[in-house]
Amino acid sequence: MKGLFRSAVTLSFITIVCIIISLILSAMRKIYIQSWLVLNPSILIGFLTGLVLTSLISLANVFHLQRSHARDLTAALAAFQTESDSFRHLILQIRDARGMLTVSDQNHQALALALARLNECACKIMHCDKVSPLKSATIQKNRLFASAFAKTEVAFHQAFSAFAAYCEAAYHAHSLLPYLKNEEEKQETLRAFEKSLILVYEALEPGSALDTAFETYRTKIDRFLDIRQPKTSGVTSAA
Q: Tens digit of pLDDT for each residue in 4-14?
A: 556 666 767 77
Q: Does any domain span residue 59?
A: no
The domain of 141 spans 70-225
Lowest mean pLDDT among 29-43, 107-121, 194-208: 29-43
Give percent of the chain above pLDDT 90.
Answer: 9
Question: Which of 20-34, 74-88, 138-152 shows the lowest per-residue confidence on average (mean pLDDT)?
Answer: 20-34
In a domain, 113, yes or no: yes
| Cβ 156 vs Cβ 213: under 8 Å | yes
Domain count, the chain: 1
**Does some domain include residue 237?**
no
> Is the pLDDT reported for residue 204 higher than 60?
yes
Average pLDDT over residues 127-136: 70
Is 40 contained in some domain?
no
Whole-angstrom CA distances from 117 to 36, 49, 101, 109, 182 are: 67, 52, 20, 12, 29
DSSP per residue, 91-115: HHHHB-TTS-B---HHHHHHHHHHH
Query: Does 233 score more than 60 pLDDT?
Result: no
* Residue 114 contacts residue 176 (beta carbons within 8 Å): no
Task: Say if 14 falls within a structural domain.
Answer: no
Q: What is the mean pLDDT of the chain?
A: 78
Q: What's the rounded mean pLDDT across residues 175-199?
A: 86
Residue 127 in any domain: the answer is yes
Q: What is the DSSP letter of 37?
A: H
In a domain, 145, yes or no: yes
Higher model confidence: residue 120 or residue 32? 120
Residue 38 lies in a domain: no
